[in-house]
Chain A
Amino acid sequence: MTYIANTDKQRAEMLERCGVSSMEDLFRAIPASLKPKSFDLPEGMAELEVFAHFEKLAGRNHTDLVTFLGAGFYDHFIPAAVDAIAGRSEFYTAYTPYQAELSQGTLQAIYEYQTYICRLTEMDVSNASVYDGGTALYEACQMAIAATGRRKVVVDGGVNPIHRKMVHSFAKNLAIDFSETEVGPRRMERKKLSDLIDRSTAAVVLQNPNFFGVIDDQSDIVKLCHEKGALAIQSVNPIACAIIKTPGEMGFDIATGEGQPLGLPVSFGGPYLGFMAARRSLVRKMPGRIAGRTVDVHGQEGFVLTLQAREQHIRREKATSNICTNQALCALRAHIYLSLLGTEGLKQVARICRDKAHYAKQRLKRISGIEVIESGPTFNEFTIRLPFGASECIDLMIEKGFAAGFPLGRYYPGLDNYLLVALTEKRTKYEIGWFAEALESVICR
């Protein structure tokens, strides 16, 4: 099946207009020596067969487990209106709003999205988004390097290890000196981190809540950064921002994060949403699109892509970043989600997630053999220590119908017995109870 409209008769008419007699003539620029050596693909399928094929594949993924798996990517409730609105093809079949007059919908949506990100993080300015939280973090490092002219980046070990791996990969061929703190599954270790910050430091990268779920007030580190002339970057959970001390309040220069919790499905890893916000003085160092409000020839208000002199299609090899698109549709989803939940709704989601995590923590504490790691307040996630390997425990829990959490040993050598447990508003009290019982039976087996 194809989606081509023209009939053979129409094609013949069109070929005639082109002054050729066959389709082959249109490809005469490709020499015979360059013809494909093979093009061995399956035969096409009808819509019904294709859909059935994918239903079968989807059925081979275990989405039926009761999940306590998070590690930076959370299965929150998504109101039906998010899909309904983001499913409007005027949004999803459009492209980058280069022609502002016929893209006012996308442009205004970006402007409003930027406002939401600023208000959530309490930062001055936001871009239109980048691919994901890891890319956002890397681009933030690049902003700091450009702003300070220094090339040392200090990264806390409590930053999501996946994001840290991405940052290293992107920077592999550049002369950037990364220093990372080695950490346990606890609150940020201030002394270790402070020792690494000096006059050659461009940026210090922190996360809140950190990968182990611990909330912190990192204002002291920000202060130290500024004393040394470095920029402070914080990666935040956008839902937590509704109730915890924000990067703006702590004085951070750049705030980034993974926007997936804001109405995006976990979707096996993407597409996600990297948000970026900063102090106003850094706006010209920001990567990606930025929408701005202006007026048209009649003095009427409207929106355009602005500060494009930063970007690759203008500056080419001198651009601040090679990023071309934003994640417009993902940013739109976040925008719709925030608009539906509103001020009270988002706070409520944040509170319920924390309440459920707190309840689960108390419940698991009662199990002998489990140690709940307490090193500071937590948000929606916390770390427990098991009497044996977390991977083995997870395996046994799958039999009982649970995705029990994330085994920290996967990224932190020596933490093989530690399990990261996440909760969202979707988990019920009963599920938490069953989870605790199952865990107890696994441990005391």
Chain B
Amino acid sequence: MSIIFEKTVAGRRGARLSKSDVPPAEPIEARYSRSSALQLCELSELDVVRHFTELSRRNFGVDTNFYPLGSCTMKYNPKVFEKIAHLKGFFSLHPLLPQLRGAGLLTQGALAVIYELEKLLCEITGMDAFTLHPMAGAQGELTGMLIVAAYHKYKNNRKTEVLIPDEAHGTNPSSAATAGYHVREVATNRKTGFIDLQALESAMGEHTAALMLTNPNTLGIFVSNIEEIAKLAKKHDCLLYYDGANLNAVLGRFRPGDVFFDIVHVNLHKTFATPHGGGGPGAGPVGVRKNLERFLPISRVVKRDDNTYKLEYDYPDSIGYVAPFYGNFLVCLRAYAYILTLGAQGLRRVSDNAVLNANYILHSLKDLFHAPYPDGCMHECVLSAQKQTEREIRAIDIAKALIDEGFHPPTAYFPLIVKEALMIEPTETESKETLDAFIAAMRKIAEKAETNPAELRAAPRTTPVGRLDETKAAREMDIRY
């Protein structure tokens, strides 16, 4: 389809603006004003609506297709939360309004949302205090690493290194590095799927500032020797960081705060059903243990004795501002509404069903696809196209063939430590019928890998475009019209 700039018709207008009711000001002096022509588009409102509607039909979303993208928790985003986020009292609320009177007396509803959501996240994760400020999961990690740095500085510890298992999400090492730490990878024990204790013991020392872990980890396995790991870390005053990317597996079953984790981030756009937006905005609130609360970003919301809420900035040891205001408020608002809707029992059912759905897929496919950990999984299962490579079919071919069957592919080639990985996370909101259709498609593809591999390599055929030339894109760098 054509680019929006190709559709422009001189003189056409898409928005009706009110006429100015004040006399025009003198034009800005030439030296301060734009001299070259502004070249946006000239389109009618219908032109614009048609353009974007056409674009939207060239996308898969959770509402259109099963989207079992491992590690991303693409669950259904209930519509009522969208409606709540559009309430004028939140949507049109200026973030500086609380500063105009009594540190928040004009925005008691919004401050209540922040305060109460923080309390709920504390209870869900077992932490003592939360901040909603980090604007994405990766920013939560960075915030966590800045807290690690502040803690060690406070204690006069000289620490230079952060340990991260080799199965970790790419953001873990880059967030630690962004905060100024040297990153050391620790091998995974291929047999158990856990971080290798011996390797960890030899890597850890006085210089270790923190250990970042995801549990269940990216292999979809619950790391059950976490207590031993924690003991080791405590010996060296190494803080334990919990990447909450996979929290959807363990709601009401496991709380990182109960087992020595010092810092936690959660992805509201994963576990708490806020939309992924095509790649953002998300939200990555961070929780800490009591002894780290003093380092949390400012501002913080506190409750006064008269039950009103107040913004407080007086935390001299705080790491400062990681967001302009209070985080991605409208995202947090949706997550708060989600937690209130589900309640304790509902959240437990989320994890139960997420884990059941993933195991159902694992046990329905492990005969045809190599499963490095075939006995069971948590909320996602990792399969591999290793068997299919004998027919020169790779994970990417299976992924693309799934598109023709009407499914968004799983995450491919991650975790890095599994060859030809296909990481499948169905989430709890998918029905057995959908899972059965997906399983049937996977089985059909496995069969085709034997009988007609060429057809798989030619997939996808049903999409607006076929496989794209990424090398050409990087070389020619056509990144604007």
Contacts and interface: CB of A to CB of B under 8 A. Distances in A.
Given A91-B59, A96-B279, A75 B94 contact: yes
Given A77-B17, A92-B277, A352-B17, A241 B175 contact: no
Given A295-B468, A322-B178, A245 B33 contact: yes
Interface stretch (B41-49, B386-394, B447-455): B41-49
Interface string A341-357: 11111111101101110
A355 B473 contact: no
Given A14-B360, A318-B177, A61 B42 contact: no
A312 B170 contact: yes
A35 B74 CA distance: 26
Contacts of B52: 85, 88, 109, 336, 339
Interface stretch (A151-159, A192-200, A222-230, A263-271): A263-271
Contact of A93 (B33, B41, B62, B347): B62
A415 interface: no
A169 B320 contact: yes
Interface string B218-231: 00011010110000
A39 B174 contact: no
Interface residues of B, number: 202
A100 B112 CA distance: 41
A215 B414 CA distance: 49
Contacts of B139: 131, 135, 322-323
Among B22, B31, B76, B90, find the residue whose CB has the most chain A CB atoms closer than 10 A.
B22
Given A106-B279, A354-B25, A306 B64 contact: no
Interface residues of A, number: 204
Interface in A52-104: 53-63, 65, 67, 69, 71, 73, 75, 77, 79, 81, 83-85, 87-104
A426 to B, nearest CB: 9
Contacts of B480: 111, 114-115, 118, 124-126
B100 A45 contact: no
Contact of B473 (A87, A131, A292): A292
A180 interface: no
B179 A90 contact: no
Nearest to A292: B473
Contacts of A47: 80, 341
A252 interface: no
B95 A266 contact: yes
B469 interface: yes
A79 B15 contact: yes
B83 A51 contact: yes
B363 A326 contact: no
A342 B277 contact: no
Contact of B56 (A40, A43, A90): A90
A269 B347 CA distance: 28
Given A42-B344, A268-B110, A326 B94 contact: no
Contacts, number: 683
Contacts of A173: 145-146, 149, 179-181
Interface stretch (B197-205, B232-240, B285-293, B350-358): B350-358
A44 B341 contact: yes
B23 interface: yes
Given A99-B409, A165-B321, A268-B325, A50 B80 contact: yes
A279 interface: no
Contact of A134 (B175, B321, B341): B321
A315 B282 CA distance: 22
Given A111-B481, A115-B481, A105 B173 contact: no
Contacts of A347: 38
Among B86, B352, B414, B473, find the residue whose CB has the most chain A CB atoms closer than 10 A.
B473
A270 B281 contact: yes
Interface string B269-310: 000010111111110000000000000010000000000000
B141 A292 contact: no
Contacts of A170: 142, 146, 178, 322
Contacts of B278: 91-92, 94-97, 103, 106, 109, 328-329, 332
A442 interface: no
Nearest to B407: A102
A337 to B, nearest CB: 8
Contact of A103 (B34, B48, B60, B430): B60
Contacts of B376: 18, 26, 28-29
A4 B174 contact: no
A162 interface: yes
Contact of B363 (A17, A60, A241, A323): A17
Contacts of A301: 465
Contacts of A241: 34
Contacts of B157: none
A369 interface: no
Nearest to B216: A29
B344 A45 contact: no
B281 A131 contact: yes
B324 A69 contact: no
B156 interface: no
Contact of A325 (B59, B280, B352): B280
Given A79-B15, A316-B170, A341-B14, 17 more contacts: A1-B346, A34-B226, A43-B344, A58-B90, A63-B89, A67-B94, A73-B96, A91-B277, A108-B3, A168-B320, A266-B94, A294-B478, A295-B472, A315-B174, A345-B13, A356-B22, A395-B100
Top-3 shortest CB links A-B:
A58-B89, A269-B325, A44-B343
12 contacts: A18-B360, A29-B222, A36-B253, A36-B255, A37-B255, A92-B77, A241-B34, A268-B90, A272-B324, A317-B177, A319-B177, A325-B282
